[in-house]
Structure 1
């Protein structure tokens, strides 16, 4: 849980406070990050000793354009994580009416509200009314809801009539079944893409905005020079151009998700939801299961807006799978 009251995954300090007698090492299934990270090669010392050049920056953005299907690398803006971009976008508009398709990743609402915008959560895009900005996480976190490209293009056109924006957070799109908006991006839309989730390298702090028109240039000016470190650039461009690794990881994590489903389905009172990198179950005994797993040193994600929900990331090794399966077997 953050200091501003938003709950996030990955905070094992909270887990240890709640379950001080749990066995070590903890198994952290509270995030939606690929547990099998891209193999980072040895990095030359020069990456730490000098500032990256504009050419380095451009090559990283070209690699991202190739990976995401952007027709022009100039549309891609590299940043030290998509969280930074989430915080920057609200500062680029005058006070607006912002509709956020939810429930979803809570940092979007916090960023727009904190910048003085009028924010409302809507259950479907057709309830956005006269909003000037529509924010969609696609696929959604935590339930994996996926909107079609056609629907998003229609929403962008509706917003265009009043000078509005469509913001689409595609943090989990690399392994999703749906179509990304990037190749057909309207000039009043911004797509956010996460690097760390797909490649299991959240600590690299790397993310991208893809935007047509003036938005890309504005974001570059606001971010300023050297916004991404040299080591992050090197790791990012190598990984983004490694298409065989990405395809193999997508297939392998899909098998992991199906294995996890076999554990969760008997305990879930609703059909399982989520994405390849996380699965969402629902049931009246979710709080009991959360506590049971915590006592076994397994940390999963709960949600303050609905205590019936639990989200599970994927175990990353055989030992983690064995401990999870044993914990489920002993839950009565």
Structure 2
């Protein structure tokens, strides 16, 4: 299994700091969210039923009529490669490593690409995979570019697979409203924006025929009753979504400014994370970890990803640590 952020228990053991003593910035998950509504007892006691309003709420939220809830977008990442015969897959890289891992495991031929190569050589591929905004770089491709790729791929029965896990703060850049165009598959994560990664919920937006195949492969009751009930309520809470979006955009800018002011200018990011591209990324990671601040370390190329602190105490703690690092390593 690939490594991910959020492995707080492992960090606690490695550095000898109790879990409660950590400031965990290793994920791109919103560190705050809603006061959660009560979950009906029936959601716990009965098997999930589809006619509960979740799909309707999601259709309104994403602006798309053709979607399927899944147990986290990770479930779709693992399943989609099984729905195609052996294909040549271009992956706009670097990106979330589970994508390439899943396609390679199913025997597909993979090639890492940049956007310029994809534009020139798209006809060499059956599937092109894009994380937009990119994780971990924060780079974005315009809807116009991606829709052009989609059209070229669809002419040959190909797919454009777009992972929009970090798109909720900038919905105007989403391709969700263009589904179900032929050959377009969009993945959306619920937990990151809503600050509820543990709910394990995501949505696949695509043609109905493809969703039917995916649903059959995943089997019945893929999403739990409590998850469905909670997600329905939050997807309907437009006022709460507006506040969350504004807060995350504000704090994303605050994190970018803090890093820059400490002499550590980010190489890119989103409202939910910032990325430092540095040769001494490992040294900075270890420096912060020794102070109970966990970041996400990448080795190729050497880089760190910082999530958002959850409160003012966390912001002050990060500021002190980064200031100390800058003084020690001018």
Sort the TM-score into its range (normalised by shorter chain).
over 0.9
Identify which range, 285-294 or 103-112, moves more after superposition. 285-294
Contact map agreement 2:262 2:322 (CA 8 A) in 1: no
Measured at CA, do residues 161 and 187 of structure 1 come closer, stay the same or move farther in structure 2, by a change above 3 Å? closer
Corresponding residue of 2:240: 245
Contact map agreement 1:100 1:120 (CA 8 A) in 2: yes
TM-score by length of structure 1 reads: 0.92
For residues 192-203 of structure 1, the aligned pairs below 5 Å read 192-203=187-198
Corresponding residue of 1:133: 127
Q: C-alpha separation between the residues in 1 aligned to 2:122 and 2:153? A: 10
Q: Tell me the CA shift for residue 270 of structure 1.
A: 5.5
Corresponding residue of 1:323: 317
Q: C-alpha separation between the residues in 2 aligned to 1:121 and 1:226? A: 35
Corresponding residue of 2:59: 65
Corresponding residue of 2:210: 215
Identify which range, 166-175 or 251-260, moves more after superposition. 251-260
Corresponding residue of 1:48: 44
Measured at CA, do residues 321 and 271 of structure 1 come closer, stay the same or move farther in structure 2, by a change above 3 Å? closer
Q: C-alpha separation between the residues in 2 aligned to 1:330 and 1:139? A: 31
* Number of residue pairs the alignment of both structures matches: 322
Q: Tell me the CA shift for residue 247 of structure 1.
A: 1.3
- Segments of 5+ residues of structure 1 without an aligned counterpart are none
Corresponding residue of 1:293: 288
Measured at CA, do residues 243 and 96 of structure 1 come closer, stay the same or move farther in structure 2, by a change above 3 Å? same
Q: Tell me the CA shift for residue 129 of structure 1.
A: 4.6
Residue 94, structure 1, aligned to residue 85, structure 2: yes
Contact map agreement 1:22 1:294 (CA 8 A) in 2: no
Measured at CA, do residues 315 and 246 of structure 1 come closer, stay the same or move farther in structure 2, by a change above 3 Å? same
SS in structure 1 opposite 2:216? helix
Identify which range, 7-16 or 60-69, moves more after superposition. 7-16
Residue 149, structure 1, aligned to residue 143, structure 2: yes
Q: C-alpha separation between the residues in 2 aligned to 1:162 and 1:324? A: 50
- Segments of 5+ residues of structure 2 without an aligned counterpart are none
Q: For residues 286-314 of structure 1, what are the alpha-carbon distances to aligned partners after superposition, in whole Å with 9 as ceiling and x for unaligned?
A: 2222111101100001102122x111000
Corresponding residue of 1:37: 33
For residues 238-317 of structure 1, the aligned pairs below 5 Å read 238-267=233-262, 271-307=266-302, 309-317=303-311
Q: C-alpha separation between the residues in 2 aligned to 1:100 and 1:143? A: 14
Contact map agreement 2:122 2:149 (CA 8 A) in 1: no
TM-score by length of structure 2 reads: 0.93
2:107 to 96, 109, 116: 116
The CA RMSD measured in Å over matched residues stands at: 1.7
Contact map agreement 2:175 2:186 (CA 8 A) in 1: yes
Contact map agreement 2:122 2:153 (CA 8 A) in 1: no
Q: Tell me the CA shift for residue 39 of structure 1.
A: 2.0
Contact map agreement 2:33 2:244 (CA 8 A) in 1: no
Residue 104, structure 1, aligned to residue 98, structure 2: no
Corresponding residue of 1:228: 223
SS in structure 2 opposite 1:254? helix
